[in-house]
Structure 1
Amino acid sequence: MSEETKVVKPYGLQWWLCGAIMLIVIAAAATGALSTDLAGSFALMLSIGILCNEIGERIPFWNSYVGGGLVLAFLVSAFLFTYNIIPQKYADAMVMVMDEADFLSFFIIFLITGSILALDRKLLIRSFAGYIPAIFGGLLGAGVLGILAGLIFGVSPTNVMLKYVLPVMGGGNGAGAVPLSQIYETVTGDAAANYYSFAITILTIANIFAILTAAILRKVGEMKPSWTGNGTNLIRKGGDFATEDKKVKVSMKDLGGAFFLAVGFYALGRLFAKALLPTIGGVAIHQFAYMIIFVAIVAAAGIVPDNIRAAAKKLQSFFTANLILIIMVGVGVDTNIIELAKAITPGNVVIALAIVIGAIIGSAIVGYLVGFFPIDSAITAGLCMANRGGSGDLAVLGAAKRMGLIAYAQLSSRLGGGIVLIIGSILFGAFLK
């Protein structure tokens, strides 16, 4: 490793410069001088988030199996505000950012648009012939085994599906647990943090099991070579189609176009959810669910030019790489750490494990039936649905030594997570309204 790669640069800044900024912000908050508007709130939320992220990404085991800096930022924020260590006016300001300004929805808009448009068009179209059924197989297996485990511990099938299966199989944290909590709040009127605090606990437990079982499946593949494509191929016959988009140069105008496109898709989702078709069969459909459907249709049709697709992906990458810390701190502010600790019980651990095993079995069986190698299908369509999204995909594929299948893993996190949001929108409306 070169000396340059060893240098710590939080957010691209020299460590001393970033540290100086954080000290200034904390001093301003401690004296009450920091404003409670968007600028002041963002400054304090990022200061807390960056510090926790840098520490969390360097803690052994935690950084690989628990979720690293993002989860630490959430937990530390919940601790700070549960015990009133930070002045209440700043807690209120952060709640304003998350609720009144609705930064959460703003964040999700760009995540949905960029993640779906980033998929190769041919991969998006051909995936529906085989890979999407494999994802549904994983969802079905996760639901069945999760419900069976839930019955053992006295958890109703409805609660298992809504509070366990959906967040675990939702495509990770930013693409799954966060928007699911927003849909939950919209449907029930209860705070999103009340759903998220439990969802992130179950998701974190499941993420550990997903990584560990990926390593086990790698060993199974070594013993049964006919069950795997050795990490380079998913389809048993007929070749592969997991290719990356060609490199496209993105201008500042392209970023502006992608920005406008994303908020336009959101407006379209709102138009259908609030005016044109708010319910289907009596079930309310969330604007994000509509948005996912329309973005997927446009992406498959090839309407959006490559430069705008690339720009949308770049915007999405910026939000998920940097502004996710604001989300984690903001959700932590409205979370009671004492209630969170109560969620880690033997029953929850067993149910999370059952969901992961169900995802493996279901995606392997359906994957085999549609012409995939069962082990590779289980890893990509199963475990890459039951982990923490992008970072979880890398951890799972790394443990399975199948990084060549990253396009399929991303398909699970993006479209698979979108499918879960649609299902969640329907189930929340049907059972919790």
Structure 2
Amino acid sequence: MVNFNSSEKNINEKESTGKTATENLTGWPYNWWRLMDNYKIGVIPLPLFIIAGILICVEVLVTGKLPSEIVVMVVTCGFFGFLCGEIGKRLPIVGKMGAAAICATFIPSALVYYGILPKPIVVATEKFYEDTHILYLYICCIIVGSIMNMDKKTLIQGFLKIFIPMLCGEIVGMLVGISVGYLLGLNVAHTFFFLVLPIMAGGVGEGAIPLSIGYGDLLGIKDGLSRVLPIVMLGGLTGIICGGILNRIGKAYPHLTGNGKLFPESDNTNTSDKKMLKSEIVIDVTTFASGVLLATLLYMIGMLVKAVTGIPAPVGMLFAAVLVKLISGVSPKVLSGSQVVYKFFQTSVTYPILFAVGVAVTEWKDIIAAFTLTNLTVIICTVVSLVTTGFFVSKKLGMYPIDAAVISCCQSGQGGTGDVAILTAAERMELMPFAQIATRIGGAINVSLSLLILAHVLLKYNLVSIADLIN
């Protein structure tokens, strides 16, 4: 039974002394409670974090395997994800420039490559990631929550205007990348098709793989994916670093950023909608559940769109979510539920997801293979010029340049996983809908147009030779 008099006494005491009555008590269980409340690794209280580590070790040592079922993997990915993220946050200087997202992704990849992470953990994580497609649940909840949190005017303006800095950034990035490669003694065609284009191809599934298939058909090379994939990863890594740097610039110069918003809001922007939404926000279990259901239903619509049109499911879902928002298709209470779901996934699921991505799909050996001074120079110059152009063009268009430039970073990202890492480093997960446009649609356009030009212009009229391309 709850003692309301005691609760009221605690509140009154906290107002007068800054502490509750229990905070002044010692011994069991008060010291234990304070340890739980005041010391955390990510979102996990330190005692629970230690217990999680012990249980994982015992499971692996005693049974020699780790179940890939969701209950065990929630603990495992949470433990390692937040541990790697915490390491990144505590690094000097770079800890404030996106190192947490980098460490959460690339430390697990390196641990797998060097055989340090126990094999049962690797096998279980890979199976869990592949069987559940957990990344898509994460992305759909983030996208839907972001869109439902935007006012309609900003949503329309954002989707109409964001293509301009994206296009300008790609043109400048391509020209700079090719020029730098030429100055370093690389063939122009090779620089574009095997260094610059993979960076802007939109990741692995919708970018590197179609690109490598196209190269196999047109150039007769069988190792296209092994050539392209490392460049995609290094481009994504550079994008993460740029996102972290942009975040620091935004903190130093607040007038340049909307902290996840693309446009300054006018005083009368959707005032009635905001008041209605605020009055309807009631956070309970059913509200949260309705937010999850909304996100998953919209993703199923995206899957149907993909089956009919071939458009990636996250993009189809994105358009469906925009339509629902524009026609006010769900109540303010359900909108608030989707925002709670967004916040939960942003704070509690990001680093575990990045750990799973690092173990399951990030190949450390591919990154090492592409780690040459020439490649790095071309990649860094391409991504930096892409992001810088997005910054200044968006500023001319009346957008917040930091936030628009973060979306430009995502143009060099490793698909959906890259978007998660870049936006985490930039602390602007609200931009996920625009990031998906940049990677999915932008990447598809880049790959399709480039392969068409290669097949029907360059090779057809002997403007380049296959030997020059593959070097």
TM-score with structure 1 setting the length = 0.72
Q: Secondary structure at the match of 1:100?
A: helix
Does the CA contact (< 8 Å) of 1:138 and 1:358 recur in 2?
A: yes
Aligned-partner Cα distance in 2 for 1:345–1:300: 48
In the other structure, the counterpart of 1:47 is 79
- Residue 351 of structure 2, aligned match among 313, 325, 341: 325
* Structure 1 residue 362 displacement after superposition: 4.9
1:427–1:47 CA distance, 2 compared to 1 (3 A): same
Unmatched 5+ stretches in structure 1: 168-179, 222-227, 279-284, 395-408
Give the match for residue 290 of structure 1. Answer: 316
- Structure 2 residue 342 is the aligned partner of structure 1 residue 312: no
Q: How does 1:214-233 map to 2 (within 5 A)?
A: none
Kindly report which structure 2 residues correspond to 1:164-175, keeping only aligned pairs within 5 A, or say none: 164-166=199-201
Counterpart mapping for 1:142-221 below 5 A:
142-152=173-183, 154=186, 155-160=190-195, 162-166=197-201, 180-184=203-207, 198-209=231-242
Structure 1 residues 150 and 9, CA gap change in structure 2 (3 angstroms): same
Could you report, residue by residue, the CA deviation over 1:195-224 in whole angstroms, capped at 9, with x for unpaired residues? Answer: 8765453233344446657888999x9xxx
Q: How do residues 51-66 of structure 1 correspond to structure 2 at under 5 angstroms?
A: 51-66=83-98
Match of 1:256 among 284, 289, 296: 289
User: Aligned letter for 1:50?
Assistant: F
Distance (whole Å) between structure 2 residues aligned to residue 311 and residue 186 of structure 1? 37
Match of 2:130 in 1: 99
Aligned: 1:386 with 2:409: yes
CA shift digits 1:134-185 (9 cap, x unpaired): 4443444334434444555545424445432356xxxxxxxxxxxx434358
Quickly say closer, same or farther: Cα 1:62–1:325, change in 2 above 3 A. same
Is the contact made by 1:66 and 1:207 (CA closer than 8 Å) also made in structure 2? yes
Greater Cα radius of gyration, structure 1 or 2: 2
* Shift of residue 36, structure 1, vs aligned partner: 1.8
CA distance in 2: counterparts of 1:80 and 1:322, whole angstroms? 23
Alpha-carbon separation, structure 1, partners of 2:295 and 2:263: 33
* Equivalent of 2:329 in 288, 291, 303: 303
User: Is residue 10–residue 50 contact of structure 1 (8 Å, CA) maintained in 2?
Assistant: yes
Go from structure 1 to structure 2 and tell me whether the alpha carbon gap of 1:298 and 1:146 turns closer, same or farther (over 3 Å shift): farther
Would the aligned equivalents of 1:359 and 1:383 in 2 still touch at CA under 8 Å?
yes
2:112 is aligned with 1:81: yes
Cα 1:65–1:342 change in 2 (3 A) is farther
Is the CA contact (8 Å cut-off) linking 2:178 and 2:191 kept in structure 1?
A: yes
Is the contact between residue 113 and residue 262 of structure 1 (CA under 8 Å) also seen in structure 2? yes
Distance in 1, matches of 2:380 and 2:305, equals 35
2:418 matched residue in structure 1: none
Aligned equivalent of 2:370: 343
Query: Offset at 1:81?
Result: 1.7
Gaps of 5+ in 2: 1-18, 24-33, 214-222, 411-420, 453-471
- Counterpart position of 1:421: 440
Structure-2 separation of matches of 1:12 and 1:430: 44
Paired letter, 1:255: F
- In the aligned structure 2, how far is the partner of 1:353 from the partner of 1:79? 26
Confirm or deny that 1:15 pairs with 2:51: no
AA matched with 1:181: V
TM norm structure 2: 0.67
Q: RCO higher in 1 or 2 (8 Å CA, sep ≥ 6)?
A: 1
- Distance of 1:36 and 1:52 partners within structure 2: 22
Partner of 2:150: 119
Measured after TM superposition, the shift of residue 426 of structure 1 is 4.5
How many residue pairs align between the two structures?
A: 385
Distance 1:287 1:312 in 2: 19
Q: Distance in 2 between matches of 1:203 and 1:242?
A: 37
CA deviation after TM superposition for structure 1 residue 229, in Å = 6.6
Alpha-carbon distance in structure 2 between the residues aligned to 1:197 and 1:317: 32
Query: Partner letter of residue 47 of structure 1?
Result: F
Query: For 2:48 and 2:68, how far apart are their aligned partners in 1?
Result: 24
Residues 84 and 430 of structure 1, relative CA distance in 2, 3 Å threshold: farther
- Residues 238 and 383 in structure 2, CA contact (< 8 A), matched pair in contact too: no
